[in-house]
Structure 1
Amino acid sequence: MKRSCYLAFAAVLVIWSPCHAGLLDDFSRDILPPSKQQSSLDNTVIVKGLKEALATGTEKAVTAVSRPDGYFRNQLIKILLPARIQQVADVAAKIGFQQQVDTFVLSMNRAAEKAAPQAARYFGNAIRQMTVDDARQILNGGDTAATVFFEKKTRAQLFEAFKPSVGTAMNQAGTARAYKELIGKYEATPLAAFSGKPSLDLDEYVTNKALDGLFLMVAEEEKKIRKDPAARTTALLRRVFGGT
């Protein structure tokens, strides 16, 4: 009974989405080496199918956030101002600087969108290094077990990779300048005398928010896989599902 449940759960995971060109194509030879002919499903086939699904699914998430408006138009992951800075922005908007506030928010999201494509390489490395034990934990885990695996394996590396790109993109967009102007306008108001000057490490804030959004999108894709089986688009997926 346990074996059959295990295989059924694996089957749900391997149907992620129709095959996509790009990440899966680039990694196919390394992540998915040719398997030996096998008469029945075993750990090798299941893990290989899981890797194929994860490669395809993470590509889909990275592509979604990397396109223009990938963050900005997605209300789930749009990068907003932290609460204290939002108070400053509200004051600035009331005295005629709403456009500057809007530009500031847009530039943070654009910086995240430009940094996001780097995630594909780190996700690919994590997939290549996945062990049988990792696969078992993912297969038997909750709705976001694969996302937890990716975050544990890649978050620190992604932060180091994203932060310089985010800083560069925000400098090019004038984000830091807009932030200083926003704070300057606020400091000229009576409210500033009572609440003090808020501080924010922009690069760190946007980098963390960009990663939060990326992993949220990976989690959303994972939930779809577990709950909504789709087309069997490869021989491997057909074998895992249909025993062909």
Structure 2
Amino acid sequence: MKKNLVLIFTVLVCFLNISCLSSLQELSSGLMDLNGGTSVKKVPAYTNEEAVSAMKDALEEGIKFASSSLSQKDAYFKNAAIKILLPEEAKPIIGILNKIPGGQSLVDDVVLRLNRTAEEAAKDTVNIFVSAIKQMTVIDGIKIVTGNKDAATEYLREKCYDKLVNLYKPKVNTVLNKPLVMNVSANEAWEKLITNYNKYGKIANTAAKIAGQKEPCPPVTVDLAQYATEKALDGLFTGIAEEEAKIRENPLKYASAMIQKVFNYVKQGITTITVRS
């Protein structure tokens, strides 16, 4: 009876003062339910541990899909968004080869082989990514779950990029060292081209500088193997980012209970939930 009187008095006071309504809501959420004997409270929608678990599941989903799909034949070569082409600086080489019978087919062969190499290397990336995932901290997990739509992809890029370069670049170099016209490889032709270009370009730049003009031949320092490796990795991370976006957009599609729970709450902007105890 005493409890009922206290509750009635509190309600009357708050109705007389509209500014107390929020306080009434807070108070009532903590009061015992007189009929059921339960209390109502707000708790986090998911724990830190659940966020990390969900993030690890999502990353594993993303890397498995990306490495599997990009390791398929023509995954790079027939995808205009990630296809690896020779750099702009290679145009003089291409121009020379085009003047030779069958030269264009040789250029096409190098491009094809570069893309095939990227496709082949993609399947070997899983172990590198898994190692990074295992090292994820609670702070990492929370930051990624509540971050941008590509936060997980950027985490993997930061943690794995150098190791992936070490995986891809030797494979790319093998392709570029394959003999082409007159037993000269793409790497050898490229080095000869930029050496001569830079040599004579330096003379032209010096003359322009003396005349007070802009240098006409900026030095070319492109490492062909590094360039192709970076392009291959751009394609890999594009694939992972696309899968991450799908997970965030439709978490209920995935088998992992943690992905469904955590990312569904994140998508709806829910940080706390009401529970009865």
The TM tier, using the shorter chain, reads 0.5 to 0.7
Question: Which residue pairs with 1:146 in the alignment?
Answer: 152
Identical residues among aligned pairs (%): 37
Change (3 A) 1:183 1:134: closer
How do 1:12-51 residues align onto structure 2 when only pairs under 5 Å count? Answer: 41-51=46-56
Contact 2:55/2:259 (<8 A) preserved: no
Partner of 2:84: 79
Bigger Cα Rg: 2
Q: Which residue of 1 aligns with 2:186?
A: 179
Gaps of 5+ in 1: 1-39, 188-192
CA offset digits 1:149-203 (Å, max 9, x no partner): 11111111111222223223554x557945268669x99xxxxx998x9775332
**Contact kept in structure 1, 2:55 and 2:144, CA below 8 Å:** no
The residue that corresponds to 2:163 in the other structure is 157
After superposing on structure 2, the runs of 4+ consecutive aligned residues of structure 1 that deviate more than 6 Å are 180-184
Q: 1:88 aligns to what SS in structure 2?
A: helix
Query: When the two structures are superposed, what TM-score results if normalisation uses the length of structure 2?
Result: 0.60
The structure richer in helix per residue is 1
CA contact (8 A) 2:157 2:237 kept: yes
2:42 corresponds to: none
Tell me the residue number matched to 1:52: 57
Determine the C-alpha separation between the residues in 2 that align with 1:53 and 1:42.
16
Residues 49, 174 of structure 1: CA spacing in aligned structure 2 closer, same or farther, 3 A cutoff? farther
Match of 1:212 in 2: 234
Counterpart CA distance in 2 for 1:85 and 1:150 is 31
Rounded Cα–Cα distance in structure 1 between residues aligned with 2:82 and 2:252: 25
User: CA deviation digits over 1:208-243, x for unaligned, max 9?
Assistant: 221122112212222222234452424444555599
Aligned equivalents of 1:139, 1:238: Cα separation in 2: 13
From the superposition, tell whether residues 236 and 140 of structure 1 become closer, same or farther in structure 2 (CA, over 3 Å): closer
What is the letter of the counterpart of residue 229 of structure 2? T
Give the CA deviation at 1:123: 0.7
Question: Deviations 1:54-81 (Å, cap 9, x if unpaired)?
Answer: 1011111111222221211111111111
CA RMSD for the aligned pairs? 3.4
**Normalising by the residue count of structure 1, what TM-score does the alignment of the two structures yield?**
0.68
Higher relative contact order (CA 8 A, sep 6+): 1
Q: Deviations over 1:57-108 (max 9, x none)?
A: 1111111222221211111111111002034314432553211111111111
User: Structure 1 residue 62 and structure 2 residue 75: aligned?
Assistant: no
- Structure 2: give runs of 5+ residues left out of the alignment: 1-44, 195-199, 202-216, 266-272
Q: Is residue 112 of structure 1 aligned with residue 118 of structure 2? A: yes
